[in-house]
Amino acid sequence: MLGKLAKLAAICTVAGLLAGCSGGAGLFGGGSGGGLFSRDGADERREARREANRQAAIEEGLLPDPNRESIFDLFTNSDDPNSTVEVNRYLWNASLEILNFMPVEAADPFSGVIQFGYGTPPGGRTAYRATVFVQDPALEARSLRVSVQSRNGAVSRDVARQIEDAILTRARQLRIRDASL
């Protein structure tokens, strides 16, 4: 073991002496000689490490995949399930149909949230706004939560429950329609 350490020390000493004779480039390069640890090699290693980190982030779904064609590729199950949309499409579409009198302010299919702005229902006088949260890919009542507000504040839970029931009913109709095709 001691012999190996002595050999390693001798090699480092010789390399240091040779680097010192390289015309002022020193051990780390910087001159015209390049040195033992040139900056070009460090830059290449750093760039390779950056590219490996970028590829890992794409695989984990943290960065968009440059090979995707469009947003609709997210709805296919050909990729990692962590990067596909996991909301029930019937609940999503039924929510948009039932609350079509309200303008959509924001929609995020990744989290399953649709935020609607103030709108007055047909035949009504009070303006409402709503937030729909599709929590699960299953077509079940526990997969859907609706929060409704008027300009005067929150409305009763019964109103929100009636809207949830209407959305669930329409979602089941859409599913039955697609099954019969």
The pTM (predicted TM-score) of the whole model is 0.54
The mean pLDDT of 146-165, rounded to a whole number, is 92
pLDDT tens digits for 79-115? Answer: 555 555 578 899 999 999 999 999 999 998 888 999 9
Reduced to 3 states (helix: H, G, I; strand: E, B; else coil), residue 176 is helix
Q: Report the distance separating Cα 27 and Cα 40, nearest Å.
A: 14
Q: Which residue has the tokens 């350490």?
A: 5
Average pLDDT, the chain: 77
Integer angstrom CA distances of residue 41 from 1, 34, 47:
31, 10, 10
Which of 45-49, 135-139, 173-177 is predicted least confidently?
45-49
* pLDDT tens digit sequence for 45-85: 878 887 877 777 667 666 666 666 655 555 555 555 555 55
The residue to which tokens 């390399």 are assigned: 15
Q: Which helix (H) or strand (E) holds 159?
A: helix 157-179
Taking the alpha carbons of 28, 30, 33, 39 in that order, is the dihedral positive or negative?
positive
Average pLDDT of span 18-39: 49
CA distance 119 to 176: 29
Weakest-pLDDT range from 4-8, 31-35, 71-75, 159-163: 31-35
**Sheet with 113-116, edge to edge strand ranges:** 104-108, 113-116, 128-134, 144-150, 153-154
Residues 6+ apart with CB under 8 A from 160: 146, 147, 148
